[in-house]
Structure 1
Amino acid sequence: MAGGSGSSGRTGVRVVVVGDKGTGKSSLIAAAASESVPEKVPPVHQPTRLPPDFYPDRVPVTIIDTSSSLESRGKLNEELKRADAVVLTYACNQPMTLSRLSSYWLPELRRLEVKVPVIVAGCKLDLRGEHHTTSLEEIMGPIMQQFREIETCVECSASTLIQVPDVFYYAQKAVLHPTTPLFDHDEQTLKPRCVRALKRIFTLCDLDMDGALSDAELNEFQVKCFNAPLQPAEIVGVKRVVQEKQPDGVNDLGLTLNGFLFLHALFIEKGRLETTWAVLRKFGYGDDLELKDDFLPVQTKHGSDQVRKEVDKIGMSKYGMVDEMYMGEKRYLLLDAIFQSVELTSEAVEFLRGIFGLYDIDNDGAVRPAELEDLFLTAPESPWGEAPYKDSAEATAMGNLTLNGFLSEWALMTLLDPRRSLANLIYIGYGGDPASTLRVTRRRLTDRKKQRTERNVFRCFVFGPKKAGKSALLNSFLGRWPFSENYTPTTGERYATNVVDQLGGTKKTLILQEIPEEGVQKLLSNKDSLAACDVAVFVYDSSDDYSWKKTKELLIAVARQGEDSGYGVPCLLIAAKDDLDSNSLAVQDSARVTLELGIEVPIPLSMKIRDPNNIFGRIVRAAEHPHLCIPETETGRNRKHYRHLVNSSLMFVSVGAAVAIIGLAAYRAYAARKNN
């Protein structure tokens, strides 16, 4: 394999030149820009632009000169923060400037958190004495071991033009074709993300899926990436090189995955990073070795910047009472469009069912963690190894993920991060139109008006005070028994997701999100916090009067939030720990409160005796009928009554005005006839 550079998508590279005074910074820049020996050099050179055709990648380079004086330190720091790469200079005839690299400049770049490639340039090479016998590798080797941000070192001379263009070529190359994402210099191996990306590319190019790239497949790969075929002699040469160094890299069928990886490691070791990057970018990867946005056509719930600006504009305006209600409704309509949720299409779900069957090798209805890890070997990493996905779905006693758990994890990822979900579908082999994998659901306002929803995935906020039984509810939803007496408070984000069977054989995915008591205030401080919620559940300890009082406060706070924002959500109360003696005062008060708010009475529940009381089906039914079970406070009722009066008054005024206009028109017609 051979080839040139791939497009990085960059429109320019900004290189900042730093170093001690007198090391030749300005002369270096002047010589590079004019391609001639500079006669007169200013103390600090003006920003200089090398045109696109200066280097093979055809990306312009802007060079920024700096002063090392104390007075200019602030400007120097600002320039470094904007740099894509840094050229750090020393003078070959001044050993002190070389020692200053490791004693001052490189530590200073780290202190300023300048995390870009560094090119060390030894200037004034022509002035170094002939007695100097130490090689550049011997000088810079220990420094490069200590400071891995150094990409390369080069010695040059502005007076003789020796290697002057090379300095900025290496700087540009370090930005366009970075080493850090691909190669671990300490281990001398490809980095895991690079291996995963190349494995996916190998799999896509292995058209007959025999585990090797045949001569024809290898040639097709070459044409796709570099627009040029491989000659038969070149293919033989590639295989010979691989077989000499990596015996298992070639077999009777062609180039194996190990051979493919070996070749790319060899390119990188020989400084030909542009070849590997050309391959990666051709298959859609960015510098972070994830698929770029233009390979992920996701239209998600986040909405356009223009809509968000309009929302903010409405939120900041000050209007009279009638206008405020109108603008509040307008704001709600805009936000309702933004907070539409995203689900997998039936086509994507069927693909995932097939993938699950493929990896369920023993056909026991579950995939082991190792099998799941194998599934994501062509993704940057396994997406479910950390919160909020870890332990959020149904698994067997052995920790194996069931089909329901597998599909529920995908539903959760699609709801929370549609882009990541689509990317992972592509990583694991989805070859259809990416736009056919996701669908944006109908707006919640429309669902409420039609008194039904077309959603297949529902998000439920689970509120309640400490020790009420929220975590036990989530655990039971995932089939985690028996009930534990040990109390472990939930401190971070926690989800539980599973498939719920409904009457008639339909299946819906329910996502429970536990809201810790101390997190409620922060949640409700965002006026749009309920926009993403389909149903809210309030869990309290039915044997504890304080638990009920705290839950009542939470319920009313959520009800008021819904009324103020326009995002009222169906609410259910769960009287947990029903196996204990219920508090009679709490029972009476809860009956009164639910009656006043117009919602169902609390649902008794005991997790200790494994009594789910079909609670999850009831939660789904509440979400399926978004116009019911929405609590209404007295303030809300008064506001609705006032709005009704205002609308009636406006209608009366409108009718009166219409009558007056008609009367005036009739009078004018009568007067005209009389005059005639």
Structure 2
Amino acid sequence: MVSFNKSTLRVVVCGDEYVGKSSLIFSFVKDRFVSQLQEVLPIITIPRDFSASPYSPEKTILVDTTLNDIDFLQSELKIADVICLVYSNHDSYERISMFWMAMFRTLGLNLPVIICRNKCDLLNKEDNELIEIEEFIPLLKDFKEVGTCIKCSALEKFNVTQLFYRCQRAVTQPLAPLFDSKTGKLKPLAITALKRIFILSDKDQDGFLNNEEISLLQRKCFGKSIDSNELNAIYKNLSKMAPDESAFVRGKGLTKNGFSLLNQLYVETGRHETTWGILRAFHYTDTLEIEERTLYPTIDYPPTSSIELSPIGYRFLVDVFRKFDKDNDGGLNNIELTQIFKTCPMGLPKLWINTGFPNSTVVNNLGYVTLQGWLAQWSMTAFLDHKTTTAYLVYFGFESDTRLALTLTKPRRLKKRYGKYYRAAVNDRKVFNCFVIGNAKSGKTALLDALLGRPTTEVYSPTIKSRIAVNSLELRGGKQYYLILQEFGESQPAVLENPSKWEECDVVCLTYDSSDPDSFAYLVEAVEKYKHLMKLPMVFVALKADLDKQQQRCHIQPDELTESLFLNHPLHISTFWQNSVNKLFDRLIKCALEPLRATPGFEPELKVKDEESREKLMVAGSILGIASAFSLILYKLLKKS
């Protein structure tokens, strides 16, 4: 089945000889009847303006055919988008079943067929009225390919425009995906899509579409408002269909069931283009799925760049949070979260499920996700999996190109000093990814909990699956960043052995239990074995500093190792001491911003020089900016005088 956004639609007009195929085409194109025409008209292309539908193709091609050239007929049928099959009397009607439909199936065609009964001007009133019962209904029952039947007269130009409009509509607004003719009801996929549209259109989340919300939906889908008379007619019809107020409640509006019933009414009365207009406005294809290019737009970016949410993206996600936080308590409870993700076919993102949401982000004392936690979670999602982010933005009702909700950072640059490479400082990034590595029981999980402001438990529970924690942090000066901490559980050895995985890492947090004499040896072995770690900024952390410090059973002590790598001594941290935890998170962010300060193998003098050079550049930039502003003011004053 052709997609609605195809630019050209091809209609092949066929039927027995002398049924009026050429006359119908000529009458439609020229808006007049000519009794004597050539046997077969040339192929005619019609521009878009013959239809008022905004979803019609740019061009419609009409192909006239004859049985005298069967090869041409069959070749055109094979490339058609829709077939217009014309008959005009009893004999040509009988041949629809005996010859034409059999030929279509022999050719393996799976196309919509529009049946046209031409020359209705020759029939008396009684015969004209019997056509639908005696001729149309049997065809509709016997052949699933037949989408609709219509009576026409090329001589009187009766229903000619409507005929070709229906041919086009059979492709651009197909009935089959919407309606089950056997049950007489909308199909489940159509109902699911309409329920999603209802939830997105219910701006105040009260379970009803009021007049204002219906008008907004009408304007979005059809570019025009709906007047009060139309609304009253809709409400009247729905009240008749469902007098128990399951469809419409006076003073409140349409219910979800009422919205589905309204669209079923459109389909049953031949106005399914209205339903398709609603579905198309929400990017649904003929298969009632949201189109791939909308969910996953192409984003070309260097592998060393990262993807973050833009201010537009953050603003939209704030609006989503506030829309569904119905009790205005600043947290999304389970019911509110479920309601948010009702518009998403897969429910929660797979990434969230795999990383333990909502334990991955900030919640309040009732366990409800706060706005801070909601934004942090999506910051992490955009950074780690931008395709999931764009898809869910669409599911949530983001109306513009989802690429506007994202921003690309500059590619990561490498600098070289004394034959060694290190990552250059960054100034356009707000999200940083930190891998937490350490021996079992070193306190990694407690560190992740501390990032989320959760209390430390003294009961040890081994981490089996990978886990993520993400939160926003504010450094001195008021700048806000998002820090992602990842621990890998049983997959930690595999992660350590995979150099490509570490391209995703901005800073490494190497943890050991300062009260366990056997804990630090794990880090020494890792640093000596996996040389790719030495290219990354790293911070050594002595956890459980509230307990008695122990001499490590290792050939090198923590302070000695860090000195040999030209790094700061391990930070002594206890998750019971909030100030020490805050100091660690600040250092991780600063090391991600300025990797040289924590990259192994570079002498302190070099790091100092690099920092002094950067400060000098910043001072010089400030002076230059002030001088430029002063020069501009002076120029304006001189010009004025």
Aligned with residue 83 of structure 2, among 32, 54, 57 = 54
CA distance 1:467–1:201, shift in 2 (3 Å): closer
Match of 2:597, SS state, is: coil
CA distance 1:167–1:407, shift in 2 (3 Å): closer
Residue equivalent to 1:659:
none
Aligned with residue 486 of structure 2, among 513, 517, 526 = 513
CA distance 1:156–1:53, shift in 2 (3 Å): closer
Compute the TM-score of the two structures, normalised by the length of structure 2. Answer: 0.59
- 1:456 Cα deviation (Å)? 0.8
Match of 1:619, SS state, is: helix
264-273 or 419-428, larger mean C-alpha shift: 264-273
Distance in 2 between the 1:219 and 1:622 partners? 52
Compute the TM-score of the two structures, normalised by the length of structure 1. Answer: 0.56
What percent identity do the matched residue pairs reach? 24
Residue equivalent to 2:263:
264
Aligned with residue 309 of structure 2, among 318, 321, 344 = 344
- 1:288 Cα deviation (Å)? 7.6
CA contact (8 A) 1:469 1:576 kept: yes
- What are the ranges of 5 or more consecutive residues in structure 2 without an aligned counterpart? 10-64, 86-102, 112-136, 149-166, 416-421, 604-641
427-436 or 391-400, larger mean C-alpha shift: 427-436
Give 1:241's aligned amino acid: N
- 1:515 Cα deviation (Å)? 2.1
CA distance 1:583–1:155, shift in 2 (3 Å): farther
Give 1:561's aligned amino acid: H
Residue equivalent to 1:533:
505
CA distance 1:211–1:383, shift in 2 (3 Å): farther
CA contact (8 A) 1:7 1:278 kept: no
Residue equivalent to 1:573:
540
Residue equivalent to 1:163:
143
Aligned with residue 622 of structure 1, among 591, 599, 605 = 591
Residue equivalent to 2:405:
437
CA distance 1:549–1:271, shift in 2 (3 Å): farther
Distance in 1 between the 2:218 and 2:571 partners? 67
- What are the ranges of 5 or more consecutive residues in structure 1 without an aligned counterpart? 13-33, 40-44, 57-61, 67-82, 87-153, 304-336, 635-676
Paired residues for 1:199-598 under 5 Å: 199-200=198-199, 202-203=201-202, 211-212=210-211, 220=219, 223-224=222-223, 238-247=234-243, 248=245, 249-251=247-249, 256-258=254-256, 259-265=258-264, 276-286=275-285, 291-295=290-294, 298=297, 300=299, 303=301, 337-353=302-318, 355-357=320-322, 359-360=324-325, 364-380=329-345, 382-383=347-348, 386-388=353-355, 389-428=357-396, 430=398, 434-445=402-413, 451-491=425-465, 493-522=466-495, 524-525=497-498, 527-558=499-530, 560-561=531-532, 568-578=535-545, 579-586=547-554, 588-598=556-566
RMSD over aligned CA atoms reads: 5.3
Paired residues for 1:72-87 under 5 Å: none
CA contact (8 A) 1:365 1:402 kept: yes
CA contact (8 A) 1:214 1:254 kept: no
Give 2:504's aligned amino acid: A
Residue equivalent to 1:107:
none
Distance in 1 between the 2:183 and 2:470 partners? 38
CA distance 1:534–1:84, shift in 2 (3 Å): farther
CA distance 1:176–1:55, shift in 2 (3 Å): farther
- 1:534 Cα deviation (Å)? 0.8
Distance in 1 between the 2:81 and 2:376 partners? 50
Deviations 1:73-122 (A, max 9, x none): xxxxxxxxxx9999xxxxxxxxxxxxxxxxxxxxxxxxxxxxxxxxxxxx
- 1:213 Cα deviation (Å)? 5.9
Deviations 1:458-489 (A, max 9, x none): 11111223222221211121122132313232
Match of 2:387, SS state, is: helix
Q: How many residue pairs are counted as aligned between the two chains?
A: 470
Match of 1:612, SS state, is: helix
- 1:532 Cα deviation (Å)? 1.6
Distance in 2 between the 1:547 and 1:63 partners? 76
Distance in 1 between the 2:387 and 2:393 partners? 10
Give 1:284's aligned amino acid: H
- 1:587 Cα deviation (Å)? 9.2
CA distance 1:156–1:50, shift in 2 (3 Å): farther
